Amino acid sequence: MNLVALNEIAERLVTPGRGILAADESTGTIKKRFDAIGVESTETSRRDWRELLLRASEGMRHFISGVILYEETLYQDGANGTPLVELIAAAGALPGIKVDKGTRPLSNFSSETITEGLDGLAERLARAFERGARFAKWRAAFTIGDGLPTSGAIKANAQDLARYAAICQNAGIVPVVEPEVLMDGPHDIHCCDEVTRQVLAAVFQALFEQRVALEGMVLKPNMILCGESCQRRPTVDEVAHRTISAFKAVVPAAVPGVAFLSGGQSDEDATARLNAINRRGGLPWKMTFSFGRALQAAPLKTWSGRSENTAAAQQAFVHRARMNSLASLGQWTSTLERVG
C-alpha cells in the first residue's frame, strides 16, 4: 500500500469547490430513467448521455473532481473513438468505478440486504487501474423500519465494506465507502440520526479491524434526514446541525473528506443542506458532494435523447455543478438558482 499516493488521490476528490459526479447507474437503473423521458436504453444511447456530461467542459474543469463510472462506461469509447476515461482526465478529474454488484436478500434476515461483489474484486480492480481508474465505490443500503436495521445486518454490511476498502487500497485505488441509510418510510429525523450513528460506528470499527488506512479513503454517507413520507419536515439548519453532530461523534478526523450522496432529495434541497453544513465551519473534514440524480435530473430531462438539445442539457449540468460547488464552500444562496 502506498499511503502517500492514496492520500493524494483522496484529497483531490474532496478539493474545496469540487465534488464527484456519480454516473454509475446500473443498466437497469438507467433504463428506468430513460423510460421516464421516452429514450430507449441501448449501449449507444447510454454512451451518448454520459459523453454529453463529460464534454460539458466548463462544469467538468471547474466543479468536478472525479466521476464514478459503471463498468460499461469505463471501457467505452466516445462517438469519435476517444476513450471516455480520457475525457475525464483531460478535464482534470479522476475516473472512478462502481465495483459492487448490487444487493441481494440477506439470508435469515427478512427485508434486509447484503451487497455482492467481493469475489474476483482484486482482479477487476487491477484491470480498472490499468484503464485509468484511481478510485472505486461500494454501496451498502440500510432500511429503517420496525426493528430495522438489525445489528446483524449492519455488522455484515460493515464487514463487507471494510473488506472492499482493504482490497482497493492494496490495488492502489482509493475506496469511496458508501453506507446509505435510506429515506424510504415515515421515520423522523431523530430515528435517522440514531441509525446513522449506529451504521457509521460499525463501519469504522470494521475498517479499523481490516487495517484500512483512513487517510486513503473517502466517506460517502447520507445526510441526517427524515423519511420521505414523514409529516414533520426538518429545517435546513436542523439537518445541518444533526448531521454535523452525528459525524463528530463517530467519524474519525483522519478521513480526508465526506462526499454526501443525494439519495431521494430534490436538486435544490440537496444543495441547500450541503451549503448549511459548510456554513457552520470548523469541521475536521472537507464536506462536498457525490451526487447522481441531483446533478443529472435537470440535464437529462432537457436532453431527452435529442442531439439538438445537447448544448442546453450541458448548460443545465454546469449550473447544477456550480450550485453544488458553491454549497461545498458554504457560499450558495437560493437567489443564484433563479439567476442561473
What is the spatial distance between Cα 69 and Cα 54, in angstroms, rounded to a whole number? 11
Q: Is the peptide bond before 149 cis (omega within 30 degrees of 0)?
A: yes
Report in angstroms the alpha-carbon separations of 313 from 17, 26, 51, 93. 22, 21, 12, 20
DSSP-based three-state secondary structure for 103: strand
Helix (H) or strand (E) holding 303: helix 293-303
What single-letter amino acid sits at 126?
A: A
What single-letter amino acid sits at 77?
A: D
What is the spatial distance between Cα 36 and Cα 27, in angstroms, rounded to a whole number? 14
Number of Cβ atoms within 10 Å of the Cβ of 42: 11
The answer for 17, left when phi > 0, alpha when psi is -120 to 50, beta otherwise, is left
Cα-trace Rg, the chain: 19
Q: Which residues, 6 or more positions from 230, have their beta carbon under 8 angstroms from its beta carbon?
A: 185, 186, 187, 188, 189
Exposure class string for 301-317: b at 16+ Cβ within 10 A, else e = ebbeeeeebbeebbbbb
Known catalytic residues are 178, 220
